[in-house]
Amino acid sequence: MSTASTETSLPSPAATVRVIASPQSWVEGEAVRQLEAVARLPGMKAAVGLPDLHPGKGAPVGAAFTSEGLFYPYLVGNDIGCGMGLWDVGMLARKAKAERWASKLEVEGPWNGDVEGFLAEEGVKPSGFEGALGTVGGGNHFAELQRVDAVHDARAFAELGLEADRLLLLVHSGSRGLGEAILRAHVDRHAAGGLVAGSDEARAYLTRHDHAVAWARANRALVARRVLDGIGAPARRVLDVCHNSVTPRREDGALRWLHRKGAAPADEGPVVIPGSRGALSYLVAPVGDGTGSAYSLAHGAGRKWTRTAARERIKERFTAESLTRTSFKSHVVCENKDLLFEEAPQAYKAIDRVVTDLVEAGLVKVVATLAPVLTYKTRSHEE
């Protein structure tokens, strides 16, 4: 790719395609092909790939799209509302007992608290999927206790009410089976087709979508509560952002639809861009007006290898036991061995390169880097 980004104009009526990635970043050709294919959909105006761009199931991940007149639920995918929440933990990092927590912490199965009361506190209606509320889920989801590695912008860090000697908790999870059910209902009727904005079906989908986004945010909050109860510490939610959604936005006098698939918002304040479980995470603040990046940022490091390739390659080089510790001496709780290999740090792109690309493109400034202390994936042997 060229210096900060590449931009190609496809034959009308295709949208403008832009990939924000430096020559040092590796972007798979299949991901670019998928991006260009989405740009050819009716009504599409722009397709933007972020530095973590990688192939997905029919559409790329690490991308944002704008359309006019209609929108495409399949671009959002099945984990509607998936995102990142960050909590400021009321415990000094030097008092962390990661080894003890790794042996006893459990965030599995239905929560035994007052689910309806909790949802009411969060302002969310029940969905019928409350058995999964407060669970991390599979794939790349996690709950990670972190320490501050370095503060790069003291003022922005202080404005968030953070202190460099305290633990943080980052939760990455989504709407669990709720989003899957919503997408399946759409695909059964429309396959990968779009919905005409303003139609009854579009309004019905958006109602379900917005509920899933709110439910996913509540899910992250309950995951955080369960982790915090497990370590015996209070916390304050610092931020929570969604990276799988479709939202209306007025541009150039027209109502357009912004789809984000694995793309963090650049218009909602600071966000955390996590690395793999063996890498730093970056607390960043968006800069600029966001127009060149579809008001979006990278949401993580982005996969370098498919899950199958990761299992095959990493099993040749590492034991499962060795992957439960990282180069930061942090602990990893993941009792599903296949998932342990699939999610190994080596399966992901370098997060420092992803964030550097965003900085060089004028999209973010780094506020702080965060190092893992304990990463919780699952106690279950099945994903």
* DSSP strand pairing (16-19 vs 44-54): parallel
Strand, coil or helix: 87 = strand
The position carrying tokens 């955080």 is: 224
Q: Which of 54, 141, 172, 299 is catalytic?
A: 299
CA triple 321-327-328, angle to 5 deg: 115
Is there a contact between 139 and 277 (Cβ–Cβ < 8 Å)?
Answer: no
Q: How far apart are CA 241 and CA 244, in angstroms?
A: 10
Residue 299 bears catalytic tag: yes
**Share in percent of the chain as helix, strand, coil (round to 5):** 30, 30, 35
Q: How far apart are CA 245 and CA 276, in angstroms?
A: 23
Nearest one of 148, 153, 216 to 179, comparing CA atoms: 216
Q: How far apart are CA 264 and CA 194, in angstroms?
A: 23
Phi, psi for 292 (deg, rounded to 5): -80, -10
Residues in the chain: 383
367 Cβ neighbours under 8 A, 6+ residues apart: 151, 152, 153, 156, 157, 160, 270, 283, 284, 285
Using the Cα atoms of residue 56, residue 62, residue 67 and residue 72 in order, give the sign of their dihedral. positive
What are the tokens at 119? 């949802």
Burial class (CB in 10 A: 0-12, 13-18, 19+), 222: buried
Is there a contact between 222 and 111 (Cβ–Cβ < 8 Å)?
Answer: yes
What are the tokens at 75? 């671009």
Q: Concatenated DSSP letters for 232-258?
A: T--EEEEEEEESEEEEEEEETTEEEEE
E strand or H helix at 282, and its extent?
strand 281-286
61 Cβ neighbours under 8 A, 6+ residues apart: 52, 53, 54, 55, 261, 262, 302, 303
Catalytic residue positions? Answer: 299
